[in-house]
A = this chain, B = another copy of it.
Amino acid sequence: MSTPSCTVSSQSAAAAESNGDAGMGAAVSALPPLPTNSLVSPMLTDLYQITMAYAYWKANRHNECAVFELFFRKNPFAGEYTVFAGLDEVVKHLANFRFSSSDLEYLRNNPGLKHCEPAFFDHYLANLDCSEVKVCALEEGRICFPRIPLIIVEGPLGISQLLETTLLTLVNYPSLIATNAARMVVAARGTGSPISFASLDEGGSPDNRPKKTPKLVEFGLRRAQGADGGFSASRYSYIGGFDATSNVQAGKILGVPIAGTHAHSFVQAHSSLDEARGMTLQDQSGNDVELLGAVLKYRNDVLQGDSWATTNDSELAAFISYASSFPDNFLCLIDTYDTIRSGLRNFIMVSLVLDDLGHKPTGVRLDSGDLAFLSIECDQVFSDLALELDRPFLRDLDIVASNDINESVLHSLNKQGHRITVFGIGTNLVTCQAQPALGCVYKLVELNGKPRIKLSQDIVKVLIPGRKVAYRMYGGKDWPLIDVLVFADESPQPAVGHRILCRHPFVEQKRVAVTAKRVETLHSLVFNKGFVKKQPSLAEAKEHVKEQLKVMRPDILRRVNPAEYKVSVSNDLFNYLHKMWQTETPVVELS
């Protein structure tokens, strides 16, 4: 039996490295830290990866040279784009891949593996790491499309197979949540592209919009799918464009800005104005001012018309207590009793006192009811009083909304008009309610230098065979025109100013000729023989997403019937694919 051994060819690495990463140059870094979640190890995999590895090892084929591609076939959320994320943890996993002795002990004694030869555990798995594996990938935050590999793994068949499940787990949810977040950001405030906000579906008219560009905050930890689901949501929604999270752990470990004020229970924990008695803040001359007295002066003397005096006392006590603790971060949840007649007014009374004392109140939060209507009401009251009382701070207040918001609610709010300046989004963001899984797959495309194909009666499941590289071709104004997959050893490769024929992978008639103003190699080397590419910071990845969204055609980003971004193959690849397809598909005999 021939057993070709896998040595990473320097030739095939060329394309990836031409993308600016000298293989062993400045980018070489120390071993990256362990995966953030200690559950991430070679054991976080499906048993069948290990049984397959054993079968390869037993047949002495474990060192044959394999190329696997990790990709998805369909964009999530009925959309036409996806934000790639999760690479940082993938790289940490690759760098730390090692079965521990307790792992091996467990496997050796598992009933499903009990007849395996001991050498498989003691020699093969015990010494296995990723030193023979080479990985190219899109960079974190890359906007990407179906069939373009997110990650390309090249290495010995055994170890490459063993990476499948863990890599999928580390990419599927991060990319899904980053995409979900990006879509919500686009829905809430557009892309910042010259093509305006209003062109994205239901932008509403300009005078129906909040005065500030809305911010988005992730609030979903409590409803997330496990601690890591919550933590990943905070992390990857930030890359997708969210401004902050409520998750303190994500703030500490990742540096994501954190935000939050108080809950209904805080208001509930108060039952009378007595509880606010004696609380003080200093005025600008350093004198203590008793807050309750000052607030009641506004309630009884200044704002007495229209029954300001009948607001809920417990709520007012809670707000005064909160103000004494957070005079410079005074944001109140105003819907515990009656949003407009109680919460809003109590907030204003306390705010006026804070303003007198030189503090700048932050705003209100709405967590129930008709968010569009209530935000407009609040804004109107703020504007009227700002004029009436000559208190300009009232015009700058934030109006936070946070009840069951999702992408379609955001679009609907835009359409109705609203004055919300901060969206707090929880369950629908973190669990990706609209589609809770991205369907990335990990497929063998080449073995021992020979392209492999997987057939399927379902055309979209047919695999594009061979080791490939991908390019993004740009037109005028630096807008992306098309992505093209090309054999890694094809020549010439796409280049600026050269007209090349790009073909739909499956439909013979669909062809476009492209002459690009800029050509970008999509993959770069991230891991190879001691080289570990330094990953961008969260802020860098976030900025990358933002910059790409700005130059993406709005019809690709829109929610309803978005246009499909073209992903094509070179003419050589098309011909090879179709020849192989024809050869491997048996003619069905009907009789």
Contact = CB atoms under 8 A, between A and B. Distances in A.
Given A52-B262, A165-B221, A246-B46, A39 B231 contact: yes
B55 A262 contact: yes
Contacts of A436: 225, 431-433, 436
A336 B444 CA distance: 13
B106 A251 contact: yes
A308 interface: no
Interface string A580-591: 000000100000
A373 interface: no
Nearest to A263: B48
Interface in A230-256: 230-233, 246-249, 251-253
A328 B115 contact: yes
Interface stretch (A134-142, A317-325, A526-534): A317-325
A268 interface: yes
A1 B278 contact: yes
Nearest to A274: B1
Contacts of A170: 227
A249 B36 CA distance: 16
A38 B38 contact: yes
Contact of A431 (B40, B52, B265, B437): B437
A43 B262 contact: no
Contacts of A259: 47, 112
Nearest to A314: B584
B229 A321 contact: no
B325 A58 contact: yes
A555 interface: no
Interface stretch (A15-23, A447-455, A467-475, A507-515): A447-455
Contacts of A327: 115
Given A258-B112, A266-B52, A225 B227 contact: no
Given A48-B261, A55-B266, A443-B265, A43 B225 contact: no
A110 B249 CA distance: 12
A454 B269 CA distance: 10
B168 A45 contact: no
Q: Which of A266, A329, A454, A586 has the most CB of B within 10 A?
A: A266
A563 to B, nearest CB: 27
Contact of A61 (B252, B269, B322, B447): B269
B222 A226 contact: no
A108 B255 CA distance: 14
Contacts of A322: 55
Interface string A411-455: 000000000000000010011110011111011100100101011
Q: Which of A168, A224, A444 has the most CB of B within 10 A?
A: A224
A591 to B, nearest CB: 11
B325 A248 contact: no
A340 B86 CA distance: 40
A577 interface: no
Nearest to A433: B436
A556 B431 CA distance: 27
A226 B225 contact: yes
B329 A45 contact: no
A37 interface: yes
Contact of A41 (B55, B110, B249): B249
Contacts of A110: 251, 258
Contact of A45 (B248, B336, B337): B248
A227 B41 CA distance: 10
Contacts of A115: 326-329
A590 B222 CA distance: 39
Contacts of A249: 39, 41, 43-45
A81 interface: no
A487 interface: no
Contacts of A442: 265
Nearest to A326: B51
A60 B102 CA distance: 50
Interface string A336-362: 111000000000000000000000000
Given A56-B269, A268-B454, A325-B51, A228 B45 contact: no
A157 to B, nearest CB: 7
B222 A168 contact: yes
A37 B226 contact: yes
Interface in A101-127: 102-103, 106-107, 110, 112, 115-116
14 contacts: A37-B37, A46-B260, A47-B248, A50-B248, A50-B260, A68-B265, A103-B252, A110-B251, A110-B258, A115-B329, A157-B269, A172-B224, A225-B431, A264-B454
User: Shortest 10 CB-CB distances between A and B: which pairs?
Assistant: A228-B228, A47-B260, A48-B260, A226-B228, A431-B436, A225-B225, A168-B222, A46-B246, A225-B229, A55-B325
Given A44-B227, A165-B222, A229-B229, 11 more contacts: A49-B263, A51-B261, A59-B275, A61-B269, A115-B327, A168-B222, A172-B223, A226-B226, A264-B454, A337-B586, A431-B436
